[in-house]
A and B are shown apart, each in its own frame.
Chain A
Amino acid sequence: MEKTTQQKAMRKFTKICDIVNQYNRDKSKLIPILQKVQDEYRYLPEEVLTFVATTLNIPPATVYGVATFYAHFTLSPRGKYVIRICDGTACHVKGSNKLLETLREKLNLKDKNTTTSDMLFTLETVSCLGACGLAPVLVINDVVHGQVTREKAIKLIDEIIEKENKNAG
């Protein structure tokens, strides 16, 4: 167990080094670099941002400024599966609110938490995914699911949990 975690963390880190090298450690490529880092970690960890700042030779406060400016970047850990529920007009009319409630309950998300404690799921809303014909729409890690009912949503979650359990076991 220990062995694989260390190796995984290390592999991730080597990736970060590759990413900054791939962009020739060019400060002006900060945004694409952050984008790739986020792909790797699913969020932008503070220490990694400091590392990126040091390597690109720019102040960490600048990197932090960029990372907090774009809604696309996130500085808190995100789950392995990011579920985004569309809250655009069409989906809203078709009850995306209820869907959100159902999923928060299903995932046991309390208060303002958006990520489950086992780091498996993150639940967010987005404003219109441009698939209004399929409303209400929900996206799990870039896979779009249309006309989602409460039952269908719960089933999607259960399937993922089952898959994960199988992998672990």
Chain B
Amino acid sequence: MEDKKTLFIDGREYRINGERNLLEVIRKAGIDIPTFCYHSELSVYGACRLCIVDIEGRGIVGSCSTPAEPGMKVHTNTPEIREMRKITLELLLANHEQNCLTCGKNSNCKLQELASRLGVDNVRFKPTHKPKPIDRSSPSIIRDPNKCVLCGDCVRMCHEVQGIGAIDFAYRGSDVMVLPAFGKDLSEVECVNCGQCARVCPTGALTVASQIENVWNELHNAEKTVVVQIAPAVRVALGEMFGMKAGEVVTGKTITALKRLGFDKVYDTSFTADLTVVEEAHEFLERKLNGENLPQFTSCCPAWVKFAEQYYPELLSNLSTCRSPQQMFGAVAKKMLPDLLDINRENLVVVSIMPCTAKKFEALRPEFNIDGYPDVDYVLSTQELGKMIKEAGLNFIDLETESFDLPLGFKTGAGVIFGASGGVSEAVLRLAVEKLSGNKIEKVDFLDVRGCEGIKETSFTINNTSVKIAVVHSLANARKIADMVKNGECDYDLIEVMACPGGCIGGAGQPCSFVDTINESRTQSLYNIDKNLQIHKSQDNPYIAELYEKVLTDHKITHELLHTEYNNRKRMSDNGLSFSEDNKNGKLHVDVCLGTGCYLKGAQDLLHEIITNIVDKNLAEQVEVRGSFCFEHCNNGPTVRVGKHLIEKCTLKLVLSEINKQLKATQTTAISS
């Protein structure tokens, strides 16, 4: 047996148990060392210097970036350390806009908390803060650089966990800021609205954009009937905002609170999650039967959908065409509730309560809008609902419990576990396995897809059909799997992707928490709800059956309400590389994609040939050739767009004939008009 490894913290002996660094050992010993730039999910940055400790023989070091070594004698609370921490905090405060009372993060802010904990009652440094503009362009996130402490948590989250890197440090010295590329707005760059940056931001520099006021206005408007849907993950997190323990199930209280806030009907997104399962499982079985568009990727996470649209255009046909449960709910509600509640569609307002910030973006997608009336009118995060309850003065803990309204409030356990990573797969399996075997199944738990590992797998064979499934959460993991699919390195049939670590229960709209085990608690609660419900399989939901009988009567309407399509999306707004002098209006634009995929397929040479030809044929007056980076049709590259016409697998001949055709067409219209 190995010697047990120990060290001393403030004179007491503690074991070292494979912790990643000294900080974790100290925290396990029950001492909450203050930190700004340390997150167990992220790499160590070591910039804030709050985590300093004194090691005998070594002096003062940052504990987050020091490995724990046997025999170390560590002091966490000396006069020198206390003074240094205070100075650090005062320096941060001197450069921080101080309007806490009106800040979105008020009472959830780490800077506030630490200033009070460390007893900072006076800032001894001259204020150095210069006001900078606030970026409100994104429907999901507000970026206020005036509140940034440059801890870099958001930068590392977006880069390491989400594999995107939409924001990064820019400039240097006293000008350093965290910015999207070229100082653009968040809505103009490749941000997928997952909000994870805001989840880890210790201050109010990144916060969730709020629609609270809009919703109050609708609630106060006597002409409007306001209905609300609650996502599965909300019911296991809202209680945290009222001091209840992590993961406590508060479904009944939430319904009562919503009714008392003035919502006319309270429904359950888990109902349309059941509907999603039925649609998506059938879609999957059909694809499996025909061997088409496999693997099938899930499509209920809007952050993943935008990610796929930006980075994996060649895989878009692999995405399930099913709308997310939120959008299915909106479409079904706006279709059937006007009759059921005897009101006009225009007077029906659908609000969602979501753990998610990307859902705010999803609700705004133009596909989900009929004649200017969106299927889902407003999306509130769990946090925003908590704030409304507080504003209304409801004593949440003591509220009695009520039940969901019918029919859109009846769900099975399958629709509830959707909120955890692996839940969608398990729910689909509960249907698919039954269909493939032709028998009712009793055992409904598929434990392989549960749990918090970043990439999970399971496979089984029924009646000679074998099915292989992967479940991933966090987009960096999604990228790994998507690359494998692209390169033909795996043979999965179904792949579930959730952008947020842990799935939706870890969404950025959930109550703020810096507790490491929070996701496990919330997840466990969702599985407990499933266990306690009578029905566990979406296909057994009687109200779903009724919906198919009464509303979703044929393929056309089902498709119209429950399915959607995806489009390639540019990662960034830009004007491309222009190769001609003037950008005179009325010129025919020829855009050659120079994105990586097309580039490899010879786009550069093609561009060269096109330009030479245009110049030789003296067409430069009428045609403008540009290099662009992001049609993202890379699978069929090189791609060239002539006017509005996109040519895949393009050759010089194809471009020239298209240019001729379009130039001729404009000439004839010019003559005839």
**Which of A's residues lie within 8 Å of B, judged by CB?**
1-3, 5-7, 9-10, 13-14, 17, 46-51, 53-55, 57-65, 68-69, 75
Contact = CB atoms under 8 A, between A and B. Distances in A.
Given A54-B596, A61-B167, A61-B189, 11 more contacts: A6-B581, A7-B615, A10-B611, A14-B604, A50-B629, A54-B594, A60-B182, A61-B181, A64-B181, A65-B179, A68-B172
B577 A61 contact: no
A64 B164 CA distance: 14
Interface string B566-587: 0000011011111111000000
9 contacts: A3-B615, A6-B579, A6-B615, A9-B578, A46-B182, A50-B572, A51-B627, A59-B190, A61-B179
B608 interface: yes
Given A14-B608, A55-B596, A48 B577 contact: yes
A5 B581 contact: yes
A141 B625 CA distance: 32
Contacts of A6: 579-581, 611, 614-615, 620, 625
Contacts of A46: 182, 574
B180 interface: yes
Name which of B167, B179, B577, B625 has the most chain A CB atoms within 10 A of its CB. B577
B596 A3 contact: no
Contact of B596 (A9, A57, A59, A69): A57
Interface in B35-87: none
Given A59-B190, A63-B181, A9 B579 contact: yes
9 residue pairs, one from A and one from B, having the closest CB atoms: A59-B165, A60-B181, A61-B168, A9-B579, A61-B181, A65-B168, A2-B620, A5-B581, A68-B170
B367 interface: no
A143 to B, nearest CB: 29
B168 to A, nearest CB: 4
A132 to B, nearest CB: 26
A62 B625 contact: no
Contacts of B604: 14, 17
Given A3-B620, A51-B594, A59 B168 contact: yes
B579 A10 contact: yes
A144 B578 CA distance: 35
Name which of A2, A10, A61, A75 has the most chain B CB atoms within 10 A of its CB. A61
Interface in B548-577: 571-572, 574-577
B615 A54 contact: no
Contact of A59 (B159, B595, B620): B159
Contacts of B596: 54-55, 57
Nearest to A10: B611
Given A2-B621, A51-B594, A61 B165 contact: yes
A54 B629 contact: yes
A9 B621 CA distance: 16
A77 to B, nearest CB: 14
Interface string B109-153: 000000000000000000000000000000000000000000000
Contacts of B607: 10, 13
B164 A59 contact: yes
B169 interface: yes
Interface in B603-661: 604, 607-608, 611, 614-615, 620-621, 625, 627, 629-630
Contacts of A57: 596
B170 A65 contact: yes
B570 to A, nearest CB: 10
A75 B165 CA distance: 20
B543 interface: no
B342 to A, nearest CB: 52
A48 B629 CA distance: 10
A23 to B, nearest CB: 15
B171 interface: yes
Contact of B595 (A2, A3, A54, A58): A54
B579 A62 contact: no
Contacts of B572: 50, 60
B629 A62 contact: no
B620 A65 contact: no
A51 B579 CA distance: 14
A51 B598 CA distance: 12
A62 B620 CA distance: 36
A61 B167 CA distance: 6
Name which of B180, B576, B615 has the most chain A CB atoms within 10 A of its CB. B615
B166 interface: yes
B599 interface: yes
A49 B170 CA distance: 14
A51 B571 CA distance: 12
A48 B615 CA distance: 23
B574 A62 contact: no
A60 B190 CA distance: 9
Name which of A9, A48, A59, A75 has the most chain B CB atoms within 10 A of its CB. A59
A13 B574 CA distance: 17
Interface in B490-542: none
B488 to A, nearest CB: 20
A162 B253 CA distance: 83
Contacts of A49: 181-182
Nearest to A57: B596
Given A2-B621, A47-B574, A48-B577, A62 B165 contact: yes
A1 B581 CA distance: 9
A65 B627 CA distance: 23
A75 B620 CA distance: 29
A2 B581 contact: yes
B554 to A, nearest CB: 45
Contacts of B171: 68-69
Contact of B577 (A51, A55, A68, A69): A51
A30 to B, nearest CB: 13
Name which of A6, A14, A17 has the most chain B CB atoms within 10 A of its CB. A6
A137 to B, nearest CB: 26
A62 B168 contact: yes
Given A2-B581, A9-B578, A61-B179, A69 B615 contact: no
A47 B577 contact: yes
Contacts of A63: 181
Name which of B170, B171, B180, B571 has the most chain A CB atoms within 10 A of its CB. B170
Contacts of B599: 54-55
Contacts of A65: 168-170, 179
A14 B167 CA distance: 29
A50 B165 contact: no
A65 B165 CA distance: 11
Contact of A69 (B170, B580, B608): B170
B81 to A, nearest CB: 32
Contacts of B627: 13, 47, 51
B619 to A, nearest CB: 10
Nearest to B576: A47
B335 to A, nearest CB: 41
Contact of B608 (A10, A47, A53): A10
A40 B329 CA distance: 55
A91 B210 CA distance: 56
A3 B613 CA distance: 11
Nearest to B599: A55
A15 B594 CA distance: 14
